[in-house]
Amino acid sequence: MSKTPPPEDFDENPEWTEETTARSRPASEVLPPHVVASLVRRPGGRPAGSNKESVTLRLDKDVLDRFRADGPGWQTRINEAVRKAVGL
């Protein structure tokens, strides 16, 4: 199956003009909500004011496997276990 080529006056990337700007609409007005949500870029990392610090720590594989086996939140559970072990 062959594709029909575009007409000669077709411009795949036309110039953005004041008229184009005037006709433009926010994505939230023209796209479904789930598509808009996928376009929103959220900042990564810890929330502002967090007292957490990222570190590199080597743990035995069986210890890590045990914490991960309980599902999401395993890093928080490790933090809680370490706090308990040091008396905090």
Q: What is the pLDDT of residues 24-71, one digit of tens each?
A: 999 899 999 999 988 887 777 777 778 888 899 999 999 999 999 999
The backbone torsions φ and ψ at residue 78, rounded to the nearest 5 degrees and listed phi first, read -65, -45
The backbone torsions φ and ψ at residue 58, rounded to the nearest 5 degrees and listed phi first, read -100, 125
> SS3 for 33?
helix
The pLDDT value given to residue 76? 92
> Distance between CA 8 and CA 59 in Å, rounded?
63
Asked whether residue 40 is domain-assigned, the answer is no
CA angle 17, 22, 23 (to 5 degrees): 100
* Host domain of residue 85: 58-88
Please give the tally of structural domains in the chain. 1
Asked whether residue 63 is domain-assigned, the answer is yes
pTM for this prediction: 0.48
Asked whether residue 19 is domain-assigned, the answer is no
